[in-house]
Amino acid sequence: MESMAKFRMRLLIGLALSMFSLEAARAAKCACATTSVHVRSGAGTSHAILGTAHGGNCFPFKGDESKSGAYEWVHVDFTGKDGWIAEDYVELKECPTGSGTSTNDGCPNIVTRAQWGARPPTSRSLLHSAVKYAFIHHGASAACHTEAECAAIVRGYQRYHMDGHHWNDIGYSFVVGEDGNAYEGRGWDAVGAHTQGYNTVGLGFCIIGNFMERLPDSKALDTVQKLIACGVSKGKIQSSYILRGHRDMGSTACPGTKLYDLIKTWPHY
């Protein structure tokens, strides 16, 4: 018959292995943002903001949490730094396939110029560093919900800008459709023609449609937020960027009252 000492030893070893397995399972999980939320350098709103996690961005969970103020905070690996996110705005789950130290890039599907049928620019000036501003626009046009419809509208925007305004290309850096795609305009590296006086220090993101009286659908809103996060992760947009609507910088109704009211609630505005 097994002695009491051996039984206790087996029980302690089993308990230790169980605790180790639990911690390993927790550490293997990711904290995935359910909406746009700040990532801070410590648990609590008094700590510095390291960056912004957008809905769907996932970060390796470090296995511990801390209570501060009104929130429980989860400890994550934020692009190699210790980050903390309020638990109310994340979901702990298995990391997406291919997750490494971080899945912060979150880049949406980008339809290239060749894919949407762009005309070549007549000339091109390049940006020299990561931009300070991200500007939100609307096209004040019909909406689109398929790639074919959206590509046709983007070609129309380019035609109007080049033939009507005699610009060297479509004015926007990127155009977003309610099909959930982003359409490459002048892209990350070229100076745009979207926000007078700020084209050399900002990128212009236009959502197809008219948003004076309605909001873009969730696919378009998710895509434009992921696109900005993608620009940050690629080093094209400063991590401390300033978000603004077109009307903040000039006399215009763009990006539409409903959309403008929404972006004022987003991080970095």
CATH number at residue 232: 3.40.80.10
- Asked if 128 and 84 sit in the same domain, the reply is no
- Asked if 54 and 186 sit in the same domain, the reply is no
Whether residue 11 is contained in a domain is answered as: no
- Asked if 130 and 185 sit in the same domain, the reply is yes
- Asked if 55 and 145 sit in the same domain, the reply is no
Q: What tokens appear for 260 in the block? A: 């403008």
Q: What is the mean pLDDT of residues 82-102?
A: 74
Q: What is the mean pLDDT of residues 175-193?
A: 96
Predicted local confidence at residue 14, as pLDDT: 54
pLDDT value at 103 more than 50: no
Predicted local confidence at residue 101, as pLDDT: 35
Number of domains in the chain: 2
pLDDT value at 117 more than 60: yes
Type and span of the H or E element at 227 = helix 218-233
- Asked if 151 and 211 sit in the same domain, the reply is yes
Q: Tell me phi and psi for residue 65, to 5 degrees.
A: -135, 160
- Residue 152's pLDDT band, with cuts at 50, 70 and 90, is very high
Predicted local confidence at residue 168, as pLDDT: 97
- Residue 247's pLDDT band, with cuts at 50, 70 and 90, is very high
DSSP secondary structure code for residue 1 in this structure: -
Cα(224)–Cα(145) distance, rounded to whole angstroms?
15
CATH number for position 64? 2.30.30.40
pLDDT value at 52 more than 80: no
- Residue 20's pLDDT band, with cuts at 50, 70 and 90, is very low
pLDDT value at 81 more than 90: no
- Asked if 140 and 227 sit in the same domain, the reply is yes
Among left, alpha and beta (phi > 0; psi -120 to 50; other), residue 181 is beta
User: Which residue range is the domain that position 123 belongs to?
Assistant: 110-263
- Asked if 114 and 85 sit in the same domain, the reply is no
- Residue 113's pLDDT band, with cuts at 50, 70 and 90, is very high
Q: What is the mean pLDDT of residues 109-137?
A: 95
- Asked if 231 and 139 sit in the same domain, the reply is yes
Whether residue 12 is contained in a domain is answered as: no
Chain mean pLDDT for the chain: 87
- Asked if 195 and 72 sit in the same domain, the reply is no
Predicted local confidence at residue 118, as pLDDT: 95
- Asked if 54 and 121 sit in the same domain, the reply is no
Predicted local confidence at residue 129, as pLDDT: 93
Place of tokens 């100076």: 191
Whether residue 104 is contained in a domain is answered as: no
Is the CA virtual torsion 191, 195, 201, 207 positive or negative?
Answer: negative
- Asked if 216 and 114 sit in the same domain, the reply is yes
Whether residue 217 is contained in a domain is answered as: yes
- Asked if 213 and 180 sit in the same domain, the reply is yes
Whether residue 181 is contained in a domain is answered as: yes
Q: What is the mean pLDDT of residues 206-232?
A: 95
